[in-house]
């Protein structure tokens, strides 16, 4: 088996500057996708808000309305919101896959073709969905055990969903194995990149919340560029990370 021992290093300055450059160059197409993702993600909150307003109008008392909403957590009203949340999460995966693939095309210097990517958006959908769920569960499990394991797993497996989106021919195991391998030796750089993404989101919220749309695009590009750098896909020939050639290197 081929074992990858070379540790590539991220340049935070290069990643952020390239992400900003790509965001400016392809702003409109990625803004459209970001708005779609945000709208789908906001549907459950919208349903809950409508339910709350209905209760508030019938009671006329905000405190009582909040109490009734809390007490009805197990009722059909709340179950509808939960079901809508799960459904929207699944639907949201489609534009997210399209976003990752278009961002990767842009990072390669190609002109993003939205219509072509929309057509093949469902290719590898199942793998991406399962990978994303497992990734979220791993972070959740690590966080409830202790905060630090959740952060550690979140960083080491951060590229698993991206790998699933860009390489639908891979298996679930290969997606997580490659993410674990290419993040070796770059934990703190990636952690810093995550902090920068959080600060950008806060900045976006400060800018009348509309800025979040811009900072979300920058964050997506930072992830794609970081993945391409660490996986070797920025070079003429990317390394082969198929199951036959992939060995997880323990630290």
User: Picking from 10-24, 35-49, 85-99, 114-128, which range would have the lowest pLDDT averaged per residue?
Assistant: 35-49
Q: Domain range for residue 24?
A: 12-41+93-231
Mean pLDDT of 21-40: 92
What Cα–Cα distance (Å) separates residue 205 from each residue in 31, 44, 202? 16, 20, 5
Asked whether the predicted pLDDT for residue 168 surpasses 90, the reply is yes
Lowest mean pLDDT among 45-54, 144-153, 154-163, 190-199: 45-54
- The whole-number average pLDDT for the span 69-98 is 75
pLDDT band at 80 (very low <50, low <70, confident <90, very high): low
DSSP 104-123: HHHHTTPPP-HHHHHHTTTT
In-domain check, residue 37: yes
Residue 32 lies in a domain: yes
pLDDT at 131: 96
Q: What are 91-140's pLDDT values in tens digits? A: 989 999 999 999 999 999 999 999 999 999 899 999 999 999 999 999 99
Q: What is the total count of domains within the chain?
A: 1
**CB-based contact 162:227 (threshold 8 Å):** yes
Measure the CA–CA gap between 184 and 6, rounded to whole angstroms: 10
Average pLDDT, the chain: 84
Going by C-alpha positions, the residue among 29, 37, 71 that lies closest to residue 52 is 71
* pLDDT of residue 221 exceeding 50: yes
Comparing 2-16, 103-117, 206-220, the range with the smallest average pLDDT is: 2-16
Q: Which two tokens stand for residue 99?
A: 């976003």
Residue 86 belongs to some domain of the structure: no
Considering only residues 58 and 65, tell me which one the structure prediction assigns the higher pLDDT: 58
Which residues in 81-105 are b (16+ Cβ under 10 Å) and which e?
beebbeebbeebbbbbbbbbbbbbb
Position 126 scores a pLDDT of 95
More confident position, 94 or 4: 94
Is residue 175 in a domain?
yes
242 part of a folded domain:
no
Residue 177 lies in a domain: yes
Task: Report the C-alpha dihedral over residues 187, 189, 192, 194, rounded to 10 degrees.
Answer: -70
Residue 185 confidence (pLDDT) above 60: yes
Mean pLDDT to the nearest integer, 165-186: 95
Q: Report yes or no on 88 lying in a domain.
A: no
Per the domain annotation, does 151 fall within a domain?
Answer: yes
Name residue, tokens 């992830």: 223
Does pLDDT of 250 surpass 50?
A: no
Judged against a pLDDT cut of 90, whether residue 153 lies above it is answered with: yes
Query: What would the mean pLDDT of 169-188 be, rounded to a whole number?
Result: 95
Given a contact cutoff of 8 angstroms between Cβ atoms, the answer to whether 127 and 168 are in contact is: yes
pLDDT of residue 31: 93
Q: Which contiguous run of DSSP H or E holds residue 233?
A: none
How far apart CA 136 and CA 140 sit, in angstroms, is 6
Angle (CA) 93-15-165 rounded to 5° is: 20
Q: Is the pLDDT of residue 205 over 70?
A: yes
Residue 200 in this model has a pLDDT that exceeds 50: yes
Residue 3: its pLDDT value, please? 43
């Amino acid at each position: 088996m081929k074992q990858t021992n070379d540790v590539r290093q991220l340049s935070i300055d290069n990643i952020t500057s390239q992400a900003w450059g790509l965001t400016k160059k392809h702003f409109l197409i990625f803004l459209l996708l970001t708005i779609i993702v945000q709208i789908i993600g906001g549907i459950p909150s919208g349903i809950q808000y409508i339910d709350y307003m209905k209760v508030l109008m019938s009671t006329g008392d905000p405190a009582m309305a909040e109490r009734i909403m809390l007490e009805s957590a197990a009722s059909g009203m709340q179950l509808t919101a939960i079901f809508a949340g799960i459904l929207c999460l699944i639907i949201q995966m489609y534009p997210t896959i399209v976003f990752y693939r278009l961002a990767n095309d842009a990072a390669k210097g190609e002109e993003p073709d939205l219509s072509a990517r929309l057509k093949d958006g469902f290719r590898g959908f199942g793998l991406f969905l399962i990978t994303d769920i497992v990734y979220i569960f791993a972070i959740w499990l690590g966080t409830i055990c202790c905060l630090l394991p959740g952060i550690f797993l979140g960083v080491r497996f951060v590229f698993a969903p991206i790998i699933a989106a860009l390489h639908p021919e891979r298996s679930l195991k290969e997606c997580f194995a490659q993410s674990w391998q290419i993040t070796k030796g770059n934990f703190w750089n990636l952690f810093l990149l995550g902090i920068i993404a959080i600060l950008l989101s806060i900045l976006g919220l400060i800018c009348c919340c509309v800025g979040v749309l811009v900072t979300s695009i920058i964050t997506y590009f930072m992830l794609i560029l970081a993945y391409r750098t660490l996986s070797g896909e920025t070079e003429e020939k990317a390394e082969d990370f198929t199951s036959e050639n992939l060995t997880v290197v323990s630290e």
